[in-house]
């Protein structure tokens, strides 16, 4: 499955949800996740993310492996999102900042 990682946090551009053929994105206050059981590995979302936050599970950058479990967990709790909306207000400012996980809101 594909996985949303750290750089989505506090940005949440949501371009990714528009292209997903199986609508498997789920939305929290400042982060999106992919349901790994529903993702069909089409790879369409990966190039759409302006924050380059989406990776194939086997291609996750070192140190971000914990996002695999986090996507699985939070996609069971959060509501589905299928339409693009405005990014978070400070998205540009946060884009590229390291280690945003401590800012994750649930
Ligand atoms: Fe959806 Fe395809 Fe991305 Fe999986 S890889 S989340 S199916 S767009
Ligand atoms: Fe997040 Fe990128 Fe989608 S910032 S909401 S994974 S387009």
Helices marked H in the chain: 15-19, 66-74, 91-94
Q: Does residue 55 lie in a domain region?
A: yes
Ligand 1 centroid from CA 23, angstroms: 8
Q: Does residue 105 lie in a domain region?
A: no
Can you tell me the mean pLDDT for 10-26? 98
What are the DSSP calls for 18-39, one per residue?
HH-TT--EEE-SS-EEE-TTT-
* Helix/strand/coil for 55: strand
Q: How confident is the model at residue 88 (pLDDT cuts 50, 70, 90)?
A: very high
| CATH label of the domain that carries residue 12 | 3.30.70.20
Q: Does residue 102 lie in a domain region?
A: no
Question: To test ligand 2's pocket by mutation, which of 15, 46, 93 has the most ligand atoms within 8 angstroms of CB?
Answer: 15
Ligand 1 centroid from CA 58, angstroms: 14
Q: How confident is the model at residue 52 (pLDDT cuts 50, 70, 90)?
A: very high
Backbone angles phi, psi at 7, to 5 degrees: -70, -10
Specify the pLDDT at position 86. 98
Q: Which ligand is nearest to the CA of 12?
A: 2
Q: Does residue 103 lie in a domain region?
A: no
Q: Which ligand is nearest to the CA of 96?
A: 2
* Number of domains comprising the chain: 1
Q: Does residue 96 lie in a domain region?
A: no
Closest C-alpha among 8, 12, 4 to residue 85: 12
Q: Does residue 12 lie in a domain region?
A: yes
Q: Does residue 94 lie in a domain region?
A: no
Find the domain containing 43 and state its range. 2-83
Can you tell me the mean pLDDT for 95-104? 98
Q: Which residues line ligand 2 (CB under 6 A)?
A: 4, 8, 11-16, 32, 48-49, 51, 53-54
Q: Does residue 101 lie in a domain region?
A: no
């Amino acid at each position: 499955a594909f996985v949303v990682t750290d750089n989505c946090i506090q940005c949440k551009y949501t371009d990714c949800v528009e292209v997903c053929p199986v609508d498997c994105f789920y939305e929290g206050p400042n982060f999106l996740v992919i349901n790994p059981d529903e993702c069909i590995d089409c790879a369409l979302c990966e190039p759409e993310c302006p924050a380059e936050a989406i990776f194939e599970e086997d291609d996750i950058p070192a140190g971000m492996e914990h996002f695999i479990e986090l996507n699985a967990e939070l996609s069971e709790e959060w509501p589905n999102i299928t339409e693009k909306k405005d990014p978070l207000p400070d998205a540009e400012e946060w884009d590229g900042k390291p280690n945003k996980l401590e800012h994750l809101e649930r």
